[in-house]
Amino acid sequence: MNISGPFLIAIVLIFFLVLVFANHMSSSKIKVWLLLLFRPYKDAEFREIGANLEKHNSFYRNLSEAGKVRMIEKCFEFIYSKSLEGREELEVTEEMHVAIAGTAAQISFGFNTSGFSHYKTIRIFPESFYSKMFDRYLKGGASTSGVLFLSWKDFMEGFADEKDKYNLGLHEMAHALRIQLKYGNDFDKRFANYVDVWEEIALPEFTRLQNGESSFLRPYAATNIEEFFAVCVEHFFEAAEDFQKQLPDIFNHLCFLLNLNPLNKSNDFKLDQDFIESVNNDPSRISFPDKVKKNYKYDTNHWSFYYILIGIFAGLTYVYHASEWYLYNDYFIICFIVTVIAIVAGFRKYFYSKGIFLVRHLMLFSLLGVAMPALAIVLFLDQQFVVETRVLNTKVIDYSIVKDPRNKALVYEYRVDNQYLMSHPKVLKFQAFGLELADKEFLSLDMELSTGIMGLTRVSGRKIIYRKSDTPQQMP
């Protein structure tokens, strides 16, 4: 192997490490981390955020001192990682920034992460605005491309009455949380793992709503499951007691999903053990799981990713090097790879259930994650278990020997009087170490060919027969 081989592998490795790292750390996160490091210099700003939250957010007002600090930190992170844009001549103020950050901090209060890294821009309109896409006026929206839209008038109305079960800020943040699962990477693990379970629990009520039956939730929740979730979040914070009475399972498991209990005012809305036990001890209620099962659907670091890495670093490299001594033709490799891809793709439903969704992801997985390592294993087994060995003597028509000064090797390249070998030019070019450049002409080349258990043939040894020498030189 020459120098460029390991160099190329190193570049690919570094590229993948950067990819994995960037996946875990978004630039805004680094920025916030640095800002929090210099927190002592930010005390005035923290106080200002606190004062603003005190004014707008009753959730904040009910928190203990420690809880308030946690909420301010969450707001701080939100404020510094999003840019606010006023539309239709609306002037954006610090108060707006904090009020919006407050809704994000409230819904994600039980999470370890802010959960909104996918959202970088928030566009604020003075009041409801026209959307070309929906061809109607909207009060708010959360786009899949990472932009939140809000009508300021309606946002403030949501906070004017905190018991009317209307809160635009919380509604849009609820949408953002779920969109973030599909398009972002910094989301709460429990939320990602449990959201489908919650949906299943909520499904009967959603179906009832869709059938036009009356519900504790407002009819708009029947629009689709996304709106259903967003409306549930509004009711969850603004009418927690009634919600629990009317739809206890949906409420309880929403507490579990968001890791907070809006009824636990005396203890920072924590989801405490007493609550969990009281639900689990009630046979008429759906109990909480001991352990939340991993849901691969929203996982950015999918296990198939590691197979792909192994395929690239172990499989591809081994197959590439084996091609220097194997007499297989390209059709064999193509047929093998196509077969493996077809088999893997045939199990699409199974992979779907295991969380592999995208077709290109599945193809990459089957090609690099399965076909390459499988081919490497086949070659390895073939090499280990030799069935037959024979020697093929060929007349040398033409040759060249070059001294490679970099790794002190001789590079031999032949043309021989044998169609079979000539159709595999790779095996006729090889490097030999520790040999002196011979000053003699040679006559022929003895190729030792071995056929392994898999029926593949490879060059297992070479012998050069010189014209003026009786002792042939053994080659590697």
CA nearest 459: which of 476, 438, 444?
A: 476
Interface region with Zn ion, contact rule CB under 5 A, candidates 18-26, 41-49, 149-157, 222-230: 222-230
Question: Is residue 142 near Zn ion by the rule CB under 5 A?
Answer: no
The nearer residue to Zn ion, 232 or 368, going by C-beta atoms, is 232
Of 134 and 331, CB closest to Zn ion: 134
Please give the size of the binding site for Zn ion, defined by CB under 5 A.
2
Nearer to Zn ion, 122 or 230 (CB): 230
Residue 98 as a binder of Zn ion (CB under 5 A): the answer is no
The 3-state secondary structure of the chain, one letter per residue: CCCHHHHHHHHHHHHHHHHHHHHHCCHHHHHHHHHHHCHHHHHHHHHHHHHHHHHHCHHHHCCCHHHHHHHHHHHHHHHHHCEEEECCCCCCCHHHHHHHHHHHHHHCCCCCCCCCCCCCEEEEECCCEEECCCCEEECEEECCCCEEEEEHHHHHHHHHCCCCCCCHHHHHHHHHHHHHHHHCCCCCHHHHHHHHHHHHHHHHHHHHHHCCCCCCCCHHHHCCHHHHHHHHHHHHHHCHHHHHHHCHHHHHHHHHHHCCCCCCHHHCCCCCHHHHHHHHCCCCCCCCCCCCCCCHHHCCCCHHHHHHHHHHHHHHHHHHHHCCCECCCHHHHHHHHHHHHHHHHHCHHHHHHCCCCCHHHHHHHHHHHHHHHHHHHHHHHHHHCEEEEEEEEEEEEEEEEEEECCCCEEEEEEEECCHHHHCCHHHHEEEEECCCCCCCCEEEEEEEEEEECCCCEEEEEEEEEECCCCCCEEEC
Q: Is residue 368 a contact point for Zn ion (CB under 5 A)?
A: no
- Residue among 231 and 410 whose Cβ is closer to Zn ion: 231
Q: According to CB under 5 A, which residues from 28 to 67 bind Zn ion?
A: none
Shortest CB 242 distance to Zn ion, Å: 21
Nearer to Zn ion (CB atom), residue 227 or residue 249: 227
The reply on whether position 72 binds Zn ion by CB under 5 A is: no
Using CB under 5 A as the binding rule, whether residue 232 contacts Zn ion is answered as no
- Binding of residue 221 to Zn ion (CB under 5 A): no
Q: Whole-number minimum distance, CB 179 to Zn ion, in Å?
A: 11
Q: With respect to Zn ion, which residue has the nearer C-beta, 230 or 459?
A: 230
Establish if 173 lies at the interface with Zn ion (CB under 5 A).
no
Give me the least distance between CB of 227 and Zn ion, in Å please.
5
- Asked if 337 is part of the footprint of Zn ion (rule: CB under 5 A), the reply reads no
CB of 354 to Zn ion, least distance (A): 31
Length in residues, the chain: 476
Q: Which stretch binds Zn ion (CB under 5 A): 30-38, 45-53, 226-234, 366-374?
A: 226-234
Stretch that binds Zn ion, among 99-107, 200-208, 223-231, 242-250 (CB under 5 A): 223-231
CB of 226 to Zn ion, least distance (A): 7
Least spacing, CB of residue 169 vs Zn ion, in Å: 12
Which residue in the shown chain puts its C-beta closest to Zn ion?
Answer: 230
> Closest CB to Zn ion among 173 and 374?
173
Query: In which residue are the tokens 């108060």 written?
Result: 95
Q: What is the closest distance, in whole angstroms, from the C-beta atom of residue 175 to Zn ion in the complex?
A: 5
Nearer to Zn ion, 227 or 268 (CB): 227
Residues from 284 through 303 that contact Zn ion (CB under 5 A): none
Q: Whole-angstrom Cα distance, residue 50 to residue 376?
A: 61
Q: Does 230 bind Zn ion (CB under 5 A)?
A: yes
Query: Residue 225 CB, nearest distance to Zn ion (Å)?
Result: 11
Closer of 205 and 227 to Zn ion (Cβ): 227
Binding site for Zn ion (CB under 5 A): 227, 230
